[in-house]
Amino acid sequence: MVQLFPSSVALVLLLQYANAQAIVNGQIYTPGIALVDAPQPNTPLGGDHLQVALDVTSNGQLQLPPYPKDPVSAIHNITIFLSSYATGKNFTISNGTAGAGNASLGEIMQQEPGSTVKHVNWVWPDCLAGDGDPKDPNSARGAYNISIRQNFRMNGTSMYTIFDLPIRVTNSIPVAPNRPPCDMLNNPMLDQATLNASASWFTRIAGTAIETKGTGTGIGGQKPQAQPKDGLGGAGSLDWCSGLHSLWMVVFVFMFPF
């Protein structure tokens, strides 16, 4: 087993390198048009709200809605979930329709009209209140993925992609009367194979131009690689890429046990 370990690590490194999503100057390239400005991967989170910042123009390459008729590139909608195989929870952050008391948010693309960055401010549900790592094995706190699903058209090709950004719900979340019940937001957990089958085979490479005129050249890509078992799965891994030197570093191999 000791002799096999180095080659096993090398194989995993190679696979993650081939299917990587990049972080360039702090922005995370999803397998879609939107870029994640915050949070950074594997960040411990808490406070009153879960906050996510999405650049929906890919640094100004794409105009904001309303789009022209039959656009070459456009984001049709973005839905977001907070999901974890470790806890068995799959909470709706936004599925396009605002829930009672804004427990789940409305359509992301319609928020903050005129702003190229959409700021998601979602009230943590009641079962995530607490402080520190979970002591109770039945706790809902712990490792999660912010699962960002994009239905979009890019350079003449229509796609649906799933991108899972790992975080940890371990910082302090105070008990508050405005926290919605977890049961109201929880959804059945889909298995990884089902999620992978629903998403397009596409990994966006940092620097890929987004066309807004003409008929589009079309785009190809690779099927995103699954995340570690703690999260929801069905998304690309994350690498750090220096825009100056194009230096890639595979890191998540060492964050979770095999």
> So what's the pLDDT on residue 5?
35
- pLDDT tens series, the chain, 258 aa: 334 334 333 333 333 333 457 899 999 999 999 999 999 999 999 999 999 999 999 999 999 999 999 999 999 999 999 999 999 999 999 998 888 888 999 999 999 999 999 999 999 999 999 999 998 999 999 999 999 999 999 999 999 999 999 999 999 999 999 999 999 999 999 888 888 888 888 888 888 899 999 888 877 554 444 444 455 433 343 433 323 222 222 222 222 332
Task: Return the closest-CA partner of residue 233 out of 198, 195, 197, 185.
Answer: 195
> So what's the pLDDT on residue 238?
45
Edge-to-edge strand ranges of the sheet holding 43-45: 43-45, 157-169, 142-154, 74-84, 89-96, 105-106
Buried-state track 71-110, b at ≥16 Cβ within 10 A, e below 16? bbbbbebbbbbbbbbbbebbbbbbbbeeeeeebbbebbbe
pTM of the predicted protein model? 0.80
